[in-house]
Chains A and B, each alone.
Chain A
Amino acid sequence: VTLLEQNPRWRLVPRGQAVNLRCILKNSQYPWMSWYQQDLQKQLQWLFTLRSPGDKEVKSLPGADYLATRVTDTELRLQVANMSQGRTLYCTCSAGGGADTGQLYFGEGSKLTVL
């Protein structure tokens, strides 16, 4: 059973251009939604956890700038700008609400390649 739907799955991004990613939650039992990046060396890194509609956060990492938005209870978005190195962005969901964020379930990922 698919818990998360990410799109686009792949995108070629001209240098200097921003790209918008979307993640849709299919099961409301796992309302804590997060973004993770995986770099070209396969290192996975937490970016954001956004729990409530209207939550927004920004972050700059080596090779990209990010703006994450929790649009609704079921939709999470990520804008990736100033990307200089390719990467894959994964959306996750979990039950949350306890001492930690809970068991993580990953979407299929959005693979970004810089042109």
Chain B
Amino acid sequence: GDKVKQSPSALSLQEGTNSALRCNFSIAATTVQWFLQNPRGSLMNLFYLVPGTKENGRLKSAFDSKESYSTLHIRDAQLEDSGTYFCAAFDTNAYKVIFGKGTHLHVLP
């Protein structure tokens, strides 16, 4: 099965609403990263997390290594938040970063 499982796979949001994306791990993850890929293909790093939480503007992310999951909360969604969100975990046993399949987010006006 997938070592990094993202949910939901796709999501439509009304502008101004809130949402949460989730990532579950079946590996020994020590750090988590969240990325946003825009329609042109550019990948932007949103967060790099050790266990704990981080906040940046309307985005907030948490990583719980004991329960093996991470979340990304989007507050007051804007049209420019549309794209594909990827989470990625560092697998200490394999010594590499493993990506989830992504959540495709569409923010509606």
Contact = CB atoms under 8 A, between A and B. Distances in A.
A88 B30 CA distance: 27
Chain B, interface residues (CB within 8 Å), range: 20 to 34
Q: Would you call the interface of chain A mostly helix, strand, loop, or mixed?
A: loop
A73 to B, nearest CB: 22
Contacts of B45: 103-106
A43 B100 CA distance: 8
Interface of A: 41-46, 49, 88, 90, 99-106, 108-109, 111
Interface string B19-47: 00000000000110101010001111100
A88 to B, nearest CB: 6
Contact of B43 (A49, A99, A102, A106): A106
A103 B97 CA distance: 10
A100 B86 contact: no
A103 B33 contact: yes
